[in-house]
Structure 1
Amino acid sequence: MSVEPAPIRTGIIGFGLSGRVFHAPFLATNPAFSLDLIATGDAGRQADAHARHPDVVVVATPEDLLARAGELDLIVLASPAHVHLEQGLAALEAGLAVVIDKPFAASVAEAETLIHAAERVGHPLIVFQNRRWDSDFLTLKKLLTSGRLGRVHRFESTFERFSPAVRDRWQDTTTIAQGAGITFDLGSHLIDQALQLFGPAVLVHAETDVIRPGGVSDDEAFVSLQHESGVRSHLSLSRVAAQSGPRFRMLGSDAAYVVHGLDRQEPDLKAGALPTDDGYGIEEPSAWGRLGIDGPHSPLEPVPSERGDYPAFYAGVAACIREGAPVPVDPRESLEVVRLIALVHERNMRG
């Protein structure tokens, strides 16, 4: 008779948007994990954590949580990028597996330090690149495999939001040197997705700009990558776009694919949905992308969207910790993302 393994005892540092929306619901609903500790110093977030997860112990500081490392198997860093190095090293040295939010680190050197530390102590270091499991991205991967676009020569990816005023949050008040700014934030997703689809790339061109009064990091960016596979990726990012372009446009020799709007998992999770809910991650037909060639004689074909699957990330984390399976996101792949972001900022500092 098989015995169920004990749950993976988990603590989260940080209970802002990331800890509350992108981590806690998946840990709390996956039986492979127990959510045991949350660290947040904000009184409102402490109350929210207690309300959402009544059995969890909430502590005030990362140090308080790390002092109880012996009660845990895994720590999730849902904290600002500029503290990832210190917190990640402390967790690894305490003998824990680590899931670390993107941006992975504030510099190439910090990312390399974390990777070397994980290799030295022999504990998993896993970067949270959850948008590899977006519905639209999974649909793109399936389309590429099908060959229906022919030879792809250009990939356009746009992730734009509208937040016209600087707010009192770390993303707006810390600097590029501390891992802040739109290129580190949303660019970590778009560059990672492009590399996953089309392989290694070099930076061809980059533009960044600070738009909002009082801003201390980039609000808009454009990045052009040339992949070894021959594909050119054009990546557009903005915090101040009152209207957004297509989320993805992929141009091939036989057809193109265009999809608008963002994957629904984030807004649904913000509204209180759980990953175990019926219909989680399923896109309405109105949100499906279109495949084909413009023209009156060849109507564009709706392409059913693959189901969004953020739960797959933590399923992979559990398999890694319990069974020794490969990490669901290799930190060396995320290191290459940080390397390209560093080149973007270096180029723009030189003017």
Structure 2
Amino acid sequence: MSDRLLRVGLLGFGYAGATFHAPLLVATPGVKLMAVASSRPELVRSALSEVRVFPSPEELLTGSDVDLVVIATPNDSHFPLARAALLAGKHVVVDKPFTVRADEAGQLAAQAEQAGLLLSVFHNRRWDADFLTVQKLLAEGALGRVTHFESHFDRYRPQVRERWRESAQAGAGLWYDLGPHLLDQALRLFGAPLAMMLERAALRDGAQADDWFHAQLRYADKRVILHASALVADAGPRFAIHGTGGSFTKYGLDPQEDALKAGGRPGQAEWGRDATPGRLLLAGSEPVEYPGETGDYTCYYAGVRDAILDGAANPVAAREAWQVMVLLELGLESAAQQSWKTVMQPLA
């Protein structure tokens, strides 16, 4: 790690900015959160007394001397703000989803490459404890050839809240909120599918955007199901994986989001430890507990720091996040036409 500090400006101090980005930036060694752009300066100052507060993203871009700009604003603003930050000569991190449209993501990736700037997307759930456990298990090969992979992200939030994530605007809804996480994880494990089908629905009383989705991804030798709902009081497995050599199931969500919401911070005792082990059943054996890995979202910003200051690899490359956008958009086409959609190969 370089002895230099990575100076950061944060655009937006809503849920994503205040709950995820600000605490993780503060907790990452070698990173200094210098400035925040927010329409609620008193909220920022109560949480971060030493940062400079700007009333708008534009004023932060022109009035602060930062190396990296983190964009944690509503989804439909990601593209114009990222474009402006790159034009200002800043490295950029964008909260997921990367943009609202895949062509916007492609434009930003090309702009960053031409400018020689880092552009990364906050797919933090690559560092979930349970996903790291699944990666380890599959790398070990104990399940043999995986034939069925099911990933659920279910919650019980029956009341529709007045916020942009649950509005009718572009980029709102559960498919754009949780879909990027599940798609990114599937791409990391298995690469691009051959085809996909999506069904989505607005099932809660008063819902303006989808709060339920069920995506099927077709691979040559396996089937992958990605599912999320806001109306599941008694959640089933987070992961269910079946292969020629056995099965694995895992209940419960990674604990880091709830810990951050409750005021916990990375570095505290037991941070990122998943207390619920998975269940591994291999052919001809009795089921056993499979202990989980430890999650740590600060690995993302440590990777961004090292990429900018030391030339290390981008922890989530813009082209990888563009792949997620292509599948998000293809899913919308599938849902609208109620049909399978072929994924153009190669998706790179």
TM-score above 0.5, yes or no: yes
Report the equivalent of 2:280: 291
Q: Secondary structure at the match of 2:110?
A: helix
- For 2:119 and 2:229, locate their aligned partners in 1 and report how far apart those are by CA, in whole Å: 29
Report the equivalent of 2:309: 322
The answer to whether the Cα contact below 8 Å between 1:203 and 1:223 also exists between their aligned partners in 2 is no
- Shift in Å, 1:320: 0.5
Q: Secondary structure at the match of 2:94?
A: strand
Q: Which of 205, 211, 225 is the matching residue for 1:234?
A: 225
- Shift in Å, 1:233: 0.7
- Shift in Å, 1:14: 1.1
TM-score, normalisation: structure 1: 0.92
Q: Secondary structure at the match of 1:67?
A: helix
Q: Which of 80, 98, 122 is the matching residue for 1:104?
A: 98
Q: Secondary structure at the match of 1:201?
A: coil
- For 1:21 and 1:202, locate their aligned partners in 2 and report how far apart those are by CA, in whole Å: 36
Q: Deviations over 1:264-316 (max 9, x none)?
A: 011111111111212111122xx11110059xx84321111100021110110
Q: Deviations over 1:57-85 (max 9, x none)?
A: 1222222212224x110010011110011
- For 1:220 and 1:202, locate their aligned partners in 2 and report how far apart those are by CA, in whole Å: 23
Q: Deviations over 1:203-245 (max 9, x none)?
A: 33211111234433211110011235x2211011112222222
User: Against the structure 1 CA distance between its residues 252 and 4, is the aligned structure 2 distance closer, same or farther, given a 3 Å change threshold?
Assistant: closer
Q: Which of 124, 136, 150 is the matching residue for 2:118?
A: 124
Q: Secondary structure at the match of 1:316?
A: helix
The answer to whether the Cα contact below 8 Å between 2:5 and 2:30 also exists between their aligned partners in 1 is yes
Q: Which of 36, 39, 47 is the matching residue for 2:42?
A: 47
Q: Deviations over 1:155-185 (max 9, x none)?
A: 000001222232121101243xx21111111
Q: How does 1:53-72 map to 2 (within 5 A)?
A: 53-69=48-64, 71-72=65-66
The answer to whether the Cα contact below 8 Å between 2:66 and 2:90 also exists between their aligned partners in 1 is yes
Q: Secondary structure at the match of 1:184?
A: helix
- For 1:227 and 1:87, locate their aligned partners in 2 and report how far apart those are by CA, in whole Å: 36
Q: Does 1:312 align with 2:310?
A: no
The answer to whether the Cα contact below 8 Å between 2:167 and 2:173 also exists between their aligned partners in 1 is no
The answer to whether the Cα contact below 8 Å between 1:313 and 1:328 also exists between their aligned partners in 2 is yes
The answer to whether the Cα contact below 8 Å between 1:135 and 1:305 also exists between their aligned partners in 2 is yes
What's the % identity of the aligned pairs?
41
- For 1:109 and 1:240, locate their aligned partners in 2 and report how far apart those are by CA, in whole Å: 32
Q: Secondary structure at the match of 2:194?
A: strand
- Shift in Å, 1:29: 2.0
Report the equivalent of 2:345: none
Q: Does 1:18 align with 2:16?
A: yes
The answer to whether the Cα contact below 8 Å between 1:203 and 1:343 also exists between their aligned partners in 2 is no
Q: Secondary structure at the match of 1:251?
A: strand
Instruction: Please report the RMSD computed on the Cα atoms of aligned residues, expressed in angstroms.
Output: 1.7
- For 2:315 and 2:12, locate their aligned partners in 1 and report how far apart those are by CA, in whole Å: 22
Q: Which runs of 5+ in 1 are unaligned?
A: none
Q: How does 1:172-191 map to 2 (within 5 A)?
A: 172-175=166-169, 178-191=170-183
User: Against the structure 1 CA distance between its residues 4 and 171, is the aligned structure 2 distance closer, same or farther, given a 3 Å change threshold?
Assistant: closer
Q: How many residues are paired up?
A: 338
